[in-house]
Amino acid sequence: MIKELSARDVVQKMFDGFSAQNVDQILETVTENSVWVYHGTQAIPRAQFEGKAGVQKFFTNIFERTEMLQFQPRQFIVDGNMVVVLGNEHQRVKRSGLELKQEWVQIYTIKDHIISRMEEFAATVVQKE
């Protein structure tokens, strides 16, 4: 467990793992029964991932299928065990070359100093370049 980290710091550690494409570091920040819900966009379907294996699949899919051109958490709002992050990203789909730009809101629930739930709401713009 990551007892020494605040709720915001736990989410930041997960983002640091994401930026480094370090799935092991990401998995250190989630509970065994963590639930991750991506509510879907115009271009990306809704999906839900459960447990550490599900979270691992969530990130492995991203890393295998896309090239992250920019990932920017812009604002953190912390209320007790909940961390809301507003941000954006720009990625390229490896297979098609399509570029996706997203504005998103991610809501993290922290339990015992690790992430027990994440929900993401996003809007995507698809660009052909």
Q: Please report, for the chain, the start and end positions of each structural domain, with discontinuous segments joined by +.
A: 7-127
Give the model's pLDDT for residue 2.
45
Say which DSSP state 39 is in.
-
Considering only CA atoms, which of 84, 119, 127 is closest in space to residue 102? 127
Q: What is 7-127's CATH number? A: 3.10.450.50
pLDDT digit of tens for each residue in the chain (129 aa)?
Answer: 444 789 999 999 999 999 999 999 999 999 999 999 999 887 788 999 999 999 999 999 999 999 999 999 999 999 999 999 999 999 999 999 999 999 999 999 999 999 999 999 999 888 765
Q: Are 105 and 2 in contact, with CB atoms under 8 Å apart?
A: no
Q: What pLDDT shows up at residue 44?
A: 82
Give 100's strand partners: 91, 126
pLDDT of residue 129: 54
